[in-house]
Amino acid sequence: MRILVIGGGGREHALIRKIKQSPKVDYIACTPGNGGISYDAECFDVGACDIDGVVALAKQISADLVVVAPDDPLVLGMVDALNKEGFATFGPNAAAAIIEGSKVFSKNLMLKYGIPTAEYKVFDNPQDAIDYITEKNEFPTVIKADGLALGKGVLIPETLDDAVAGVKEIMEDKVFGDSGNNIVVEEFLTGPEVSVLAFTDGNCVKPMVSSMDHKRALDGDKGLNTGGMGTVSPNPYYTDEVAKECMEKIFIPTIEAMNKEGRTFKGCLYFGLMITPKGAKVIEYNCRFGDPETQVVLPRLKTDIVEIFEAINNGTLADLDIEWSDEACTCVIMASGGYPKSYPKGIEITGLTDGQLDGVTVYHAGTAIKDGKLVTSGGRVLGVTALGEDLPAALAKSYDAVKAINFDGAHYRKDIGKRALEANCN
Ligand code: AMP
Ligand code: GLY
């Protein structure tokens, strides 16, 4: 099979490494890819949101299957365009991707079908939102831009002044563009967060092993929100009991709700969960694999991922037994100095130990090859990932490998996995 992967970050690198293990596959292409991915797949320079360009590329390379990994092209309808031209795909169509593309849609879906989530109200004008927040007078509160905002569309103001400023930034200054035409104001929930990615063909839902992201830039969950500074799998807060509750109250009801709405979801549905004192609640849905969750989940997958993609397309996922390893997996993100604010690019990276340390894989997120050298080209640069018999063993390997890698200004969190190790759930 000839497979084309759309995207160019660490998630895509992890997907490609897993696809490469399939005996069914003899050629992998990726667009736009990155420096590290270019060692594993032929990279092209068609942008990840260029629908016509991707359809043309799929034709040019005679792709048998196109995996659309990022949110934006899914929400824009890339899968629909590829299917129309007869290409098999992995990823939801636009009608289903709206579950991530519009927070107003996903909150209304949960309310309508009784899926546990934070209480909320939707606003299409800033004064009504400000009046509501003022009257409610409960802080912190949570303000979410309706549409996609590069993962930055969530504000958690601690005071009324900050909340008013936030509403104005999103709805009047349009810092997230049209994504801020509507906002959701919701109740602030507390509890550990769990990410669960799940395969679904619309008939059945098969959750993957759980993981925990670390979204803040600095140790101790301080600093700005990022795309994710590291992940661990499994997430110890996701006990068997919690998993059962999520399956009954969240996963199956969500798949059924999407079917009832005429928006059958096929692909990877990401459940961002919070385990609150009142039970598990949905913080957000994503219509795709998470980044960097994928980097710690897929290394534990023992089943051929291409067989899973095929089962989803054939509607036979229920018949496939998906196997996972019992090992733990950890990913420490090495980021450019300054990230998530502005940062330099083109800085040489040295000391990569990929393939030299047992059980360690370095997934590339923001790298490029310039004059034969590997250089930085993004905020999140590398995901230094390790499998180990348990979390401490995997973490030790990830951090050993991190210490050998250098680029000027590199920063990484030193406490990935700390919260998971402190869990006392069993
Ligand atoms: P999101 O982009 O929806 O994943 O939100 C980013 C982060 O904001 C989440 O990972 C949570 O840590 C936090 N967050 C979002 N919604 C809430 C909520 N209702 N209560 C508490 N924290 C939240
Ligand atoms: N790691 C969170 C996300 O992929 O949205």
Measured in whole angstroms, the distance separating CA 174 from the mean position of its chain's CA atoms is: 24
Structure-token match 């992940």, residue found = 231
In 3D space, the residue among 364, 301, 303 whose CA is nearest the CA of residue 30 turns out to be: 364
Distance from Cα 137 to the centre of ligand 2, integer Å? 30
Check if 133 has its Cβ closer than 6 Å to any atom of ligand 1. Answer: no
Ligand 1 binding pocket includes 175 (Cβ within 6 Å): no
Cβ-contact 254, 285 below 8 angstroms: yes
How far, in Å, from the CA of 216 to the mean position of ligand 1?
A: 12
CA of residue 379 to ligand 1 center, whole Å = 21
Which single residue is written with the structure tokens 């994503």?
Answer: 286
Of the ligands numbered here, which is closest to the C-alpha atom of 365? 2
Question: Can you give the pLDDT at residue 149?
Answer: 86
What is the SS3 assignment for 53? helix
Q: Is 272 in the pocket of ligand 1 (CB under 6 A)?
A: yes
> So what's the pLDDT on residue 391?
97
Strand partners, 120: 186
Q: pLDDT at position 283, please?
A: 97
| DSSP 3-state of 57 | helix
The full 3-state SS of 338-380, as one line of letters, equals CCCCCCCCCCECECCCCCCCCCEEEEECCEEEECCEEEECCCE
Parallel, antiparallel or unpaired: strands 373-376 and 212-213: unpaired
How far, in Å, from the CA of 189 to the mean position of ligand 1?
Answer: 8
Contact at 8 Å (CB) between 91 and 67? yes
The closest residue, in CA terms, to atom 4 on ligand 2 is: 290
Asked if 199 and 270 touch (Cβ cutoff 8 Å), the reply is no
Instruction: Give the H or E element holding residue 132.
Output: helix 126-136
Q: What is the DSSP letter of 77?
A: T
Instruction: State how beta strands 230-233 and 212-213 pair.
Output: antiparallel
Helix (H) or strand (E) holding 224: strand 222-225
* The pLDDT value given to residue 353: 67
Assess whether the C-beta atom of 100 lies below 6 angstroms from ligand 1.
no
Q: CB under 6 Å to ligand 2: residues?
A: 151, 213, 228, 286, 290-291, 293
- Which residues, in sequence order, are CB contacts of 127 under 8 Å at separation 6+? none
Question: What pLDDT is recorded for position 425?
Answer: 61
Q: Give the ligand 1 atom nearest the CA of 187.
A: 19
Residue of the nearest CA to atom 5 in ligand 2?
A: 290
Residue 259: burial class (beta carbons within 10 Å; 0-12, 13-18, 19+)? middle
DSSP track, 227-295: S-SEEEES-TTS-HHHHHHHIIIIIHHHHHHHHHTT----EEEEEEEEEETTEEEEEEEESS--TTHHH
Rg (CA), the chain: 21
How far, in Å, from the CA of 154 to the mean position of ligand 1? Answer: 7
Cβ atoms of residues 249 and 115 within 8 Å: yes
pLDDT (tens, 9 = 90+) of the chain, 426 residues, equals 999 999 999 999 999 999 999 999 999 999 999 999 999 999 999 999 999 999 999 999 999 999 999 999 999 999 999 999 999 999 999 999 999 999 999 999 999 999 999 999 999 999 999 999 999 999 999 999 999 987 778 999 999 999 999 999 999 999 999 999 999 999 999 999 999 999 999 999 999 999 999 999 999 999 988 999 999 999 999 999 999 999 999 999 999 999 999 999 999 999 999 999 999 999 999 999 999 999 999 999 999 999 999 999 999 999 999 999 999 999 999 999 999 999 999 999 999 866 678 889 999 999 999 999 999 999 999 999 999 999 999 999 999 999 999 999 999 999 999 999 998 664
Please report the pLDDT score of residue 224 as a whole number: 87
Residue 409 CA to residue 338 CA, distance in Å, equals: 8
Shortest-distance ligand to the CA of residue 286: 2
Distance 15 CA to ligand 2 centre (A): 15
* 1 CA distance to ligand 2 middle (Å): 29
d(CA 206, CA 202): 11
The residues with which 197 forms a beta bridge, in sequence order, are 270
